[in-house]
A = this chain, B = another copy of it.
Amino acid sequence: MRSDVDSGQALPAARRLVITPVRGIKEVRAGDDLVELIGDACGKELRSGDILTVTSKIVSKAEGRTVSAEARDEAVESETVRVVASRPHAGGVTRIVENRLGIVAAAAGVDASNTADGTVLLLPEDPDASARKLCRGLKRDFGVDIGVIITDTLGRPWRQGQTDAAIGTAGISVLLDLRGQPDASGRPMSATVTAVADEIAAAADLVKGKTAGVPVALVRGMDMLVNVGGLDKDPGARALLRPADEDMFRLGTAEAYEDGRRSGTRNGYNAGYDDGHAAGYEDGYAAGYAAAAAEARRRARSAGTQR
């Protein structure tokens, strides 16, 4: 059993889930205290066992992760560990990269929407740490045990559109491992690990919306996932990241094809060269031999004539 996976001791009983937008949070500036801003906006709504989902944008703003729009490309590059795939489009190039957090996202998560004019925002420095800080602060200042999910909007292969996902968490199980648990007909489930933190992030996006300026939503009804007792050992949202070497899609199709093509070309060339050389040698030998022999005959005839 992995410590970052809830093995099912506390399976979610089917119950009502209520997701409420948290209004009244002012435009966040560098240095702002999110515990105070969010806690005050929630007021008495906040209850132990709730989960707060917080758009990464306001966390980045509070942490001063703003850079000028002119420095965007540089910022994307500095956040990038590995280019997964890229494709040119009308306005430039779409680059899907693995960023320094291990998250695979377009432009390393650097984004311009909902930021001040002339600026772009980087993802929080360490979203799991940001989530833990919020979780601890809410406990300290408001006396509540609250799970925290910091969300970002991610595209995905095969399917149109984007969905929100959990990029930082504290005090919640992010994966629910149902393997071996009996299904409704009593047989053990074989391959199901549910990414509950991503499902909660997606659910919260439905009430936050991206144009409404509501960066926080309160999720009630998932108490069974909340446990703020072991924050020091909380694996956070990193547990949601599949290591590249276990991923069947660690590279874009075009990039992987190109890697294969290059390797194949090199090896093919060498093999072809050897075969071609052997065949060419034979052909050349025969031709060279014939030419020299013909020349010798000519010379012999010419010598005979002169004699």
- Residue-wise interface mask of A (265-284) relative to B, using a CB-CB cutoff of 8 A (1 in contact, 0 not): 11111111111111111111
Question: How far apart sit A21 and B162, CA to CA, in the bound complex (Å)?
Answer: 26
Please determine whether A239 and B15 come into contact, CB atoms closer than 8 angstroms: no
Among A32-40, A71-79, A226-234, A286-294, the one that faces the other chain is A286-294
- Chain B residue at minimum C-beta to C-beta distance from A197: B161
Please determine whether A113 and B183 come into contact, CB atoms closer than 8 angstroms: yes
Kindly provide the distance from the CB of A294 to the nearest chain B CB, expressed in whole angstroms.
Answer: 9
- Residue-wise interface mask of A (179-202) relative to B, using a CB-CB cutoff of 8 A (1 in contact, 0 not): 001111101011111111011101
Residues of B within 8 A of A252 (CB): 248-249
- Chain B residue at minimum C-beta to C-beta distance from A85: B248
Please determine whether B194 and A211 come into contact, CB atoms closer than 8 angstroms: no
Known pairs A19-B16, A195-B163, A278-B280; A158 contacts B247 (CB<8 A): yes
Residues of B within 8 A of A174 (CB): 161
Given contacts A85-B248, A163-B199, list 18 more A-B pairs with CB under 8 A: A16-B21, A17-B207, A19-B19, A153-B192, A157-B242, A159-B240, A161-B174, A192-B210, A194-B205, A248-B253, A258-B260, A268-B271, A270-B272, A272-B276, A285-B291, A286-B288, A287-B288, A292-B296
- Does A300 reach chain B (CB closer than 8 Å)? yes
Q: Which of B116, B184, B193, B288 contacts A292 (CB 8 A)?
A: B288
- Does A101 reach chain B (CB closer than 8 Å)? no
Residues of B within 8 A of A16 (CB): 18-21, 207
Query: Could you say how many copies of this chain the assembly holds?
Result: 2
Instruction: For chain A, give the interface size range.
Output: 35 or more
Kindly provide the distance from the CB of A41 to the nearest chain B CB, expressed in whole angstroms.
Answer: 13
Please determine whether A253 and B264 come into contact, CB atoms closer than 8 angstroms: no
Q: Which of B203, B261, B271, B278 contacts A206 (CB 8 A)?
A: B203
Q: Which of B247, B261, B274, B277 contacts A157 (CB 8 A)?
A: B247
Question: How far apart sit A287 and B261, CA to CA, in the bound complex (Å)?
Answer: 36
Question: How far apart sit A289 and B292, CA to CA, in the bound complex (Å)?
Answer: 5
